[in-house]
Amino acid sequence: MIRSALSAALMLVFVLLAPRAEALDVQAETFTLANGMQVVVIPDHRAPVVTQMVWYRVGAADEPKGQAGIAHFLEHLMFKGTRKIPPGEFSKIIKKNGGEDNAFTAQDYTAYFQSIAKDRLALAMEMEADRMQNLKLTDADVLPERDVIGEERRSRIENDPASLMAEQINAALYTAHPYGKPIIGWMSEVEKLTRQNALDFYRTHYTPQNAILIVAGDVTADEVRPLAEKYYGVLANTANPPPRVRTPEPAPLAARRVSMSDPRVSVATLQRTYIAPSYRMAKGKPTAEALDLLAQVLGGGSTSRLYRSLVIDQKIATEAGAWYSGDALDTGSFGVYAVPPPGQEIAPLEAALDKALAELVEKGVTQAELTLAKNLLIAQTTYALDSSSQLARIFGQTLAIGGTLEDVTGWNERIEKVTLADVQAAAAEVLVLRGSVTSTLLPAPGAVQN
């Protein structure tokens, strides 16, 4: 009976990645369970193993005020046990079955995954489905884990000035939007998070209709479907997650500058980060694809414009590059950076960087640059096929922020179609000082450089 109900909701998508000269025949299939949980299967029969990922459409940017870090804290606590699984046993059971597991939290999503022999997929599914609804927490488990997160923050952030600087840049870039708050949370709030905070967040957001299951590896959709129905399809929706409405970022008015010096910094860095449209915001327009190409032309490695101009020709930098981060539910960001040679000032480097950017906005990129960049980005999708667990991440991330399989599989074709005018228009739209933070990370005053 369930089967026929399911068939109605079943949507099969046979996917051709990169439908160009390579003629790749990787197939991803998707269907939706009766409770609204989406399933994607990515077959890869090269090794007798599978990766299961469950993605929740909730992340740090969805946290209640005053509870920065609760999404990530809950991610840790999801390993603490249920009615069936004693505290701390989740990962041990996976290990005993020859598997590896972990999880991660981002601004827009939280994901849990296991890689394991294909005959243990049902076990991993049973356990993952169990903790979607039956999490059991006691202070005896929660409080030491909060200390662990304090140590994680000290390891990743407090002990590393570049990470501290990145937090300051984000806080300055977003005037109102919660992306300005670090995923791991500020220490002042992390230290006060409670068991109840975690349970409230769990009960609001962890429910089948808010989750996506991705299975990649030595399986077929026909094998996954009955298992997905058995373990996830039977779960009732226990929550109606609220719409993901975050405080919109107001139109930027002021160029911002942040500067930090620290005795632990030995090499100065100049960075500029711009607010940019994300793929989701620019849907239907070529802007996001153009920004990916722009980042490649401007700062993708040693053949890029910035590297050639600042490092090779002018010799006023030792490193230079650019990036675009467009996979977000709300805004994306675009950035450029450069490192001055030892003992040299930041100011002339910043002037040269500004000049290169102004020239780009004025004249755009060349056809040769665009062709080279397209070639490289499209080749990257072929390289991505080498790892089905990597493909699982790409699909999961896209779906978790409201995208579709076609957003992933049609990317090559959309990149191919971007024109010189598209790139120039995207550069003119994004490379605007009032939407940016210029940051300098410097050695402590008086410190001696080599």
Partner 1 sequence: MIRMLLAASFAWLLLVAAPAQAFTIKQVTSPGGISAWLVEDHTVPLISMNFSFKGGAAQDPANTQGLANFLTTMLDEGAGDLPSREFQTREQELAMRLSFNADADNFRGSFQTLSKNRDEAFAMLALALNKPRFDADPLERMRAQLLQGLEMDAQDPEAITSHAFMQQALGDHPYARNSDGTLEGVKAVTADDLRALHGRLFAREHLLISAVGDIDEKTLGALLDKTFSTLPEKSGMGDVPEMPSPKAASLTIVDRDIPQSIIQFGLPGIKRDDPDFIPAFVMNYVLGGGGFGSRLMEEVREKRGLSYSVWSDLYPLEQGGLIIGGAATRNEKAAETIDIIRQEIARLAAEGPTEQELADVKTFLTGSYALRFTSGRKTAAQLLGLQEQQLGIDYVDKRNGLVNAVTLADVKRVAERLLKDKPLLFTVTGRPVGVTASR
Could you give the CA distance from residue 65 to residue 62 in angstroms, rounded to a whole number? 9
Distance CA 200, CA 63 (A): 11
For residue 111, the SS3 value is: strand
Q: Which of 371, 351, 299, 288 is nearest to 325 (CA)?
A: 288
Task: Please report how the helices 420-430 and 287-299 are oriented relative to each other, as an axis angle in degrees rounded to 10.
Answer: 90
> Minimum CB separation from partner 1 for residue 410, in Å?
20
Closer CB to partner 1, residue 92 or residue 355?
Answer: 92
* Cβ within 8 Å of residue 59, ≥6 positions away: 71, 105, 106, 107, 108, 109, 110, 183
The least CB distance from residue 330 to partner 1, in Å, is 29
Smallest separation (angstroms) from partner 1 to the CB of 218? 8
If the CB atoms of residues 198 and 430 are measured against partner 1, the closer one turns out to be 198
For residue 338, the minimal CB distance to partner 1 (Å) is 12
Residue with tokens 């981060």: 325
Catalytic residue check, 429: no
Helix 420-430 and helix 367-384, axial crossing angle in degrees, nearest 10? 90
Q: Which of 22, 29, 63, 75 is catalytic?
A: 75
The DSSP 8-state label assigned to residue 312 in this structure reads I
Distance CA 430, CA 92 (A): 48
Phi, psi at residue 152, to the nearest 5°?
A: -60, -45
Shortest distance in whole angstroms from residue 443 CB to partner 1: 9
Looking at 179-334, list the stretches that DSSP marks H as alpha helix, in order from N- to C-terminal side. 187-190, 195-205, 221-228, 287-299, 305-306
* Catalytic site positions: 75
